[in-house]
Amino acid sequence: MRPRPRAPRAGRALTALLLSAAIAIATISSSLAASLPLASAPALTLDAARHGVTLTLDAVHGAALRQVARGQPAALPGDPARYRSAVLVLDDVTLTAAGARGGYFYRIYIVPAGDGQVSERQQVGTLGPFEVSAARQRGVGALRYTLGGALAGSGGERLGAVEVVFRRAGGEDVALMGIGGMRVELSTEVEN
């Protein structure tokens, strides 16, 4: 029996190179996440026990946000991306001198606008001097909070607007921190 002819050395090297390139392209394309801002609000100073900021959504974005909140991927007309999570992003969060002393934090909730009441189920996280300082030390320009199912059980199929509510625990009624801007966005990544 004759031995099988082997591919020339250059051919094996080219095959290995092409395989490596294909794996690298697949890895890069799967790691590229897309995000889509749905609504935003300008700068805010947190200086009282409660703040509410309303973010208005158009009908298509409101329906997509509701779908993602219910744990189902959403697609938008003309957009090939499949969005899997919703995120609240707080940009450029800073502490005042009084805020840097600590002794307080804010619970952050997201509710359909007009609901008025917030529940623990709608809490998406906390914000205090520790989180702000830690983010600044890491060089992070924004704090991200996964919305999860906070919006899943209330309202109809579409959300016309959401309210981001900051409720302070502790502290005094003075300017404690500033938020350069905030937005709600959809992401193709599954956020934790």
Provide the 3-class DSSP secondary structure of residue 38: strand
Computed from CA positions of residues 38, 42, 46, 49, in that sequence, does the dihedral angle turn out positive or negative? negative
The pTM of the full predicted model, rounded to 2 decimals, is: 0.79
| pLDDT score, position 192 | 63
- pLDDT tens for the chain, 192 residues: list them: 666 655 556 555 555 444 454 444 433 334 467 899 999 999 999 999 999 999 999 999 999 998 998 889 999 999 999 999 999 999 999 999 999 999 999 999 999 887 767 788 899 999 999 999 998 888 887 999 999 888 876 666 668 899 999 999 998 899 999 999 999 999 999 876
Of 1.10.10.60, 3.30.70.1890, 3.90.1650.10, 2.60.120.230, the CATH number of 33-187 is: 2.60.120.230
Phi-psi region of 152 (alpha: psi -120 to 50; beta: other; left: phi over 0): alpha
| pLDDT score, position 5 | 58
| pLDDT score, position 30 | 43
| pLDDT score, position 116 | 67
Residues with Cβ within 8 Å of residue 145, at least 6 apart in sequence? 87, 88, 89, 90, 108, 124, 125
